[in-house]
Amino acid sequence: MKTLYKENEMIFDGYGHDALDVMSNDDRLRRFSREDMINIFEKLKNFFQEARILEPHDMTYKDTGHSGKNSFLVYKQNKYITVPTKNIAFFYVRNESVMLSCYDEREYSVNYSLEQIQRLLPQIQFFRLNRQYLINFPAIKEVEHYFARKLFVKLSVPTPEKLLVSKERSSQFLAWLENR
């Protein structure tokens, strides 16, 4: 980000000043026309409709109507099959590749990164616990307090390792659980 200074005034290139076209003159703001205000609010409305928004007051993600991916195409034993998203308990990283694990304990490799999968799925249903795991809400069996204010998440299916939520993300995770 490039910052320019002009007569005790800080201007950030390419940011809010361009978006709102605000001009100040002796501490008075230029008056906006009705059309300017309608355009500004229309742009904001479109932005919020297209994005999943993090609400600052309760730190929970709100889904804006995105239903998410219904299935994943996987390849196993010389066959392509589709796995419905509702059958997936969790995704995880193993040996630098992403795996999906189903409720019937079958596992498949997928050709997406965990970040890509997180964007494809509804945040109301899936939560990114840590760098390695993205879990499905119905798969959660129970959550326990763990050492150093972390949370230990137990799923209804076995996992390769303990699922821990850091103390920094634990309040966000609990808010996600509560606001479903």
The label of the residue with tokens 């795996």 reads: 99
Torsions phi, psi for 19 (to 5 deg): -65, -40
pLDDT at 103 over 90: yes
Distances (CA, A) of 115 to 7, 119, 121, 128, 173: 43, 6, 10, 9, 17
3-state secondary structure of 130: coil
pLDDT of the residue at 146: 92
Percent of the chain with pLDDT over 70: 72
pLDDT band at 30 (very low <50, low <70, confident <90, very high): low
pLDDT of the residue at 12: 47
3-state secondary structure of 39: helix
DSSP string, 80-129: EEEEEGGGEEEEEEETTEEEEEETTS-EEEESS-HHHHHHHS-TTTEEE-
Domains, the chain, in order of start with CATH, read 3-50 (no CATH), 71-178 (2.40.50.40)
Report if pTM > 0.75.
no
Single-letter residue type at 153: V
